[in-house]
Amino acid sequence: MSKVFGSGRVAVLAILIVGLATPTALLAQRVRDGRNRQNWADRSDDDDRGPKETEQVDRTVPLPSNGTLHLKNFSGNIRIVASSARDIVVKATRRATRERLDHIKLDISTSGSTVTIDANKRDAEWSRQNRNNNVVETTFEIQVPAAANLDVDAFSSDVMVEGATGEQKLHTFSGEIEVLNPRAAVDAETFSGDIRVTVSRDARGNVSFDTFSGEVDTTLPISTTSWRKRSVEGTLPGGAGPRMKFHTFSGDLRINSR
């Protein structure tokens, strides 16, 4: 029998927090990975020479039908908005020393049905000589075709996606994630940050929440179908639909109606 919770706050109780925790070995590895990447960035900052400059990059790239945008960024916020156009429109603001901007480029490539944007594409010779000086802070404003699939991998970035009807895979280590009006499968994960989801009151979907030291807050009547050791699962008011998974270790989960 399903249970309904909603129209209020559901605190993740201590006894359930343990159950919802990421497995110890995996959690420890994520922490190590985060520290290694942060140390990399800190050393990179220490190696800076000269004042930081700002560079603007504007690009328009065709996206094949049913294609995927794969975005890789280290630091800088990301905002992706669906549009009726067929192309990906990229507006990026890059900030670093002139030396870094000259040797670390924003690279856009297409392979099959996937367009990949790499915010930190280093030239090989310079990269070998400057192993600890290899990050450019990049802020993205991107328009995508509404049906585009999204694969976002960031480290220190807030990620916001609005109106996309394709599948979404969103990952950031230190940052918040916001998803507005998703229509297809979503897999969103952050280690240190909140996750906010906004859907219509009649939205359909199978949802699961996973948090260690946060709360689940919803204004929707969600029917829980499973309250297992490591996850809470349920369905949105409109009934079963696309799978939507939301995971955070240190942050709150909020799903509300628009």
Q: Domain residues of the chain, as ranges?
A: 21-200+245-250
What tens digit of pLDDT does each residue of 201-242 get? 899 999 998 888 888 888 888 888 876 655 678 999 999 999
Residue 58 identity (one-letter amino acid): D
Q: Band of the pLDDT at 149, cuts 50, 70, 90?
A: very high
What tens digit of pLDDT does each residue of 72-110 get? 999 999 999 999 999 999 999 999 999 899 999 999 999
Instruction: Determine the average pLDDT of the residues in 34-52.
Output: 57
Report pLDDT for 217: 83
pLDDT tops 50 at residue 17:
no
Instruction: Read off the pTM.
Output: 0.82
Q: What DSSP state is assigned to residue 48?
A: -
Report pLDDT for 57: 98
Q: What DSSP state is assigned to residue 113?
A: T
CA atoms of 150 and 153, how far apart (whole Å) = 10
Report pLDDT for 10: 43
Q: Band of the pLDDT at 112, cuts 50, 70, 90?
A: very high
Q: Band of the pLDDT at 20, cuts 50, 70, 90?
A: very low
Report pLDDT for 96: 95
Task: Note whether 216 and 224 are within 8 A (CB).
Answer: no
Please name which of 31, 107, 102, 49 lies closest in space to residue 73, comparing C-alpha atoms.
107
Report pLDDT for 40: 47
